[in-house]
Each structure stands twice: as C-alpha cells, then as structure tokens.
Amino acid sequence: MMTAKWRALLAAVAMASALGVAHAQQVIPVVTGEQWQQSSPEVKKAYLVGLSNAFQVQAAYEAANPPTDAQSIVPRLQKGLRGQTLDGVRSQLDAYYSKNPSMVKRPIVDTIWFEIVVPGLAKAG
C-alpha cells in the first residue's frame, strides 16, 4: 500500500514532469489580474484548486521534517489562509481587482500573498 508521503511525491514528480514538458514547448505565463478578470468563475476556482494542490503536495512532502518559516512559505500560507474557502478567496480577488483597476498587471499569487495571506497572518498573531 502506498503511503501518503509516497503519493504526494509521485504527484509532485508527475506535476514537475508535466510542467517540464510545457516549459520545453513554451514559457508558462504569469497569471495576472487581466486573465483573472477575463476568466469564468469555474476557471478561477480551477486555478485556485491547482495552486492549493501544489502547496498541499509540498506540505505533504515536508511533513516528516517541516521547514521553518524562513525555509518555506508553506507554513505561512497555511496559517495566513486558515479559515478561507476557495470561493472566499475568489471573491476577495474579484473585489480587489474591481476596486484596483490599475493593478490588473499584478500577478494573482502576489495579490493572494499581500492582500489575503499577510492580513491573515496579522490576525493569527
């Protein structure tokens, strides 16, 4: 029977392989508020699920030897996003880009970090 750590490692290898193939074909663009605003709610949720899965794979891989905050952003992401839902994050991103049209070139991950995770960390203490 395959353990959770091995499944996570296998998933990470598969993801890395897929990204390597995609990278060989073309450079993967950074998703910004422009693409976010043009996307359907389903595509936005799929993006967030993919991002979440990537961090969950990393957390599972590091579970036996968790890194410090200085070594990885994963512990801070988990703490800063505690209590958030996918739909909640989607709504917050929609509201941010709607209220800040001059920031549409800002990458989604940057917006998630500074507008959702960092305030979540401040609340968590």
**69/97: higher pLDDT:** 97
Domain membership of residue 3 (yes or no) is no
User: Using H for helix, E for strand and C for coil, what is the string for 7-67?
Assistant: HHHHHHHHHHHHHHHHHHHCCCCCCEHHHHHHCCHHHHHHHHHHHHHHHHHHHHHCCCCCC
pLDDT in tens, 11-68: 555 555 555 554 556 777 899 999 999 999 999 999 999 999 999 999 899 889 888 8
Domain membership of residue 24 (yes or no) is no
Domain membership of residue 12 (yes or no) is no
pLDDT in tens, 90-111: 999 999 999 999 999 999 999 9
Task: Show the domain range for 70.
Answer: 30-124
- Predicted TM-score (pTM) above 0.85: no
CA-based end-to-end distance of the chain:
40
User: Does the pLDDT value for residue 119 go beyond 90?
Assistant: yes
Residue 116 tokens, joined: 């959702």
The pLDDT of residue 1 is: 45
Query: In the chain, how many domains are there?
Result: 1
Domain membership of residue 23 (yes or no) is no
* Per-residue b or e along 63-81, where b marks 16 or more CB atoms closer than 10 Å to that residue's CB: eeeeeeeeeeebbbbeebb
